[in-house]
Amino acid sequence: MAEPTDPQATGSIVRINLTDPGEGLTEAEIVDIKVAVGDTVAINDAVIEVETAKSAVELPSHVAGTVTKVLVSVGQEVPVGAPLFEIDTSGGPAPQQSPAAGEAVESTPQETAQAASEGDESKGASQTKDSQQEDTAPTGESEQPKDEDQPKNLVGYGAPSAPQRRRRRRTTQEEDTQVPIDRILAKPPVRKLARDLGIALADVLATGPDGTVTREDVLAAQQRAMSGDTVGVQDGQYFPEESPQAPAGLDAAMKSSLHQPFAGVTSDERTTRVPIRSVRKRTAEAMVASAFTAPHVTVFNEIDMTEAMRIVQQLRASREWQGVKVSPLVVVAKALLTAIRRNPEVNASWDEDAGEIVYKHFVNLGIAAATPRGLIVPNIKDAHLMTLRELAEQIDELAKTARAGRTPLSATREGTITITNFGVFNIDSGTPILNPGESVILGVGAIKEKPWVVDGQVVPRQVAQLALSFDHRLIDGALGAELLRDISAVLEDPSLGLVWG
């Protein structure tokens, strides 16, 4: 595996590797490839999208030039240091894709003019970015470093835009036969089927109109894989694993990127095998580590949420809160922060290696979010300093970002205490497992109308159950019960937040 800080380069050809953006990334799944062979890229152009342990992120190129090789395909899981692209940084004209044997590729004058125009636009965009970097660079770094001094690996979360692709004309032979495609076209149901079966669309031979991958194509790819006919991709060409035409001289990381283990419906159609990867893999690792490291204790309390819900309704109807999404979770978060202020000892972590208990004077409040990729727990930094409105805005933004799969890795780091909301699934309660490195997690059940005794009378009230799990190495039962009691008190009588806050 190539070192992520020492990319291989021959002359003007630079190999771009997958690197850790500085937050412990060890591997990532390729979600989307935004460039193809022949594309011109500028510095900071987004070239690839990967799914990490917690989210999907776009990674930019840190060199400018022309893509000469694409060494990975969509759906592959590659380790840090694995090669992704080769880019010609000489600044010459974009090389054309090599035609297959016996294939003639022609370019019309209109296509030639369009390619030249795209090259000019890319050059102009690159010059514009260079000038912006000079205007905003810190003192001592205003000059653009030379190409040989540029970092050659992908790092960070990428730019919002991707370069335009140039597409070569298809010949009659290509249109009449099954051929792999550089840009994958598939309808959402087909993409879902491929994902469920563990089939990478980049490994599917497309037979639909204009090179579209169909449902039948995905099922055919599955059958080929089940029969042992593993297919790999290199430079836009596909090879069975033992094919004599497969490229020779590839390093281990590149060979790993060509061939992926099969998963799908078994021949008897009684089971489906799906690779354990990305968010699901990391969630499993974290939960096992937490469950078998921290001795969990969970305490429960059923509370009257009527007054808290009245405040939620008032805020929703207020003109000053127009455009702000107000949910019961916002009020619960504020009550938890108030209770932590009264019981600061719970905001701690157990450092086994150092033999120390680390008490934290800040609260990074985690909000467990169910996403299409699985459960993630991004956190709101310094939530203890925020007003109720700021909390509402941050929780709403956190939820939107998580659902879109755009949560940055930094948002999942350094959490201190977490809230998980069973209520969104209409579940009354549960026993939440601690987020690794944290000492407390609060579970909130569904808020339902139930009979409740008030001043000796049975009346209908809005009732919910709270479940508080804590690390018994750090928190004794009395302290855990005290914390849950204070949370409950603020939710039942929100005016206490003014007195205790």
The pLDDT assigned to 232 comes to 44
The pLDDT assigned to 183 comes to 56
Percent of the chain at pLDDT above 70?
67
Which residues are annotated as catalytic? Answer: 472
379 or 171: which leads in pLDDT? 379
Give dist(CA 53, CA 280) in Å, integer.
Answer: 8
159 or 286: which leads in pLDDT? 286
The pLDDT assigned to 24 comes to 59
The residue among 262, 190, 189, 210 whose CA lies nearest residue 232 is 262
Assess whether pLDDT exceeds 60 at residue 184. yes
DSSP 153: S
Q: In sequence order, what are the beta bridge partners of 49?
A: 32, 58
SS3 assignment for 360-405: CCCCCEEECEEECCEEECCEECCHHHCCHHHHHHHHHHHHHHHHCC
Averaged over 352-365, what is the pLDDT? 94
**Structural domains of the chain, ranges and CATH numbers in brackets:** 1-170 (2.40.50.100), 178-275 (4.10.320.10), 281-500 (3.30.559.10)
Assess whether pLDDT exceeds 90 at residue 308. yes
Q: CA neighbours within 13 Å on the CB side: how many for 297? A: 14
Q: Is the dihedral of CA 82, 205, 176, 164 positive or negative?
A: negative
Contact 338, 391 (CB under 8 A): no
Averaged over 420-429, what is the pLDDT? 93
DSSP strand pairing (13-17 vs 77-79): unpaired
Helices and strands, number each (H, E), in the chain: 11, 24
Assess whether pLDDT exceeds 50 at residue 185. yes
pLDDT tens-digit readout, 261-303: 445 676 677 777 777 766 677 777 778 888 888 899 999 999 9
Around Cβ 36, how many Cβ atoms within 10 Å? 18
The pLDDT assigned to 10 comes to 53
pLDDT tens-digit readout, 206-253: 888 877 888 888 887 776 665 544 444 444 343 444 444 444 444 444
SS3 assignment for 423-460: HHHCCCCCCCCCCCCCCEEEEECCCEEEEEEECCEEEE
Mean pLDDT score across all residues of the chain:
75
Q: What is the pTM of this model?
A: 0.57
DSSP 288: H
Give dist(CA 447, CA 332) in Å, integer.
Answer: 12
Assess whether pLDDT exceeds 70 at residue 1. no
Give dist(CA 291, CA 279) in Å, integer.
Answer: 18
SS3 assignment for 157-191: CCCCCCCCCCCCCCCHHHHHCCECCCCCEECHHHH
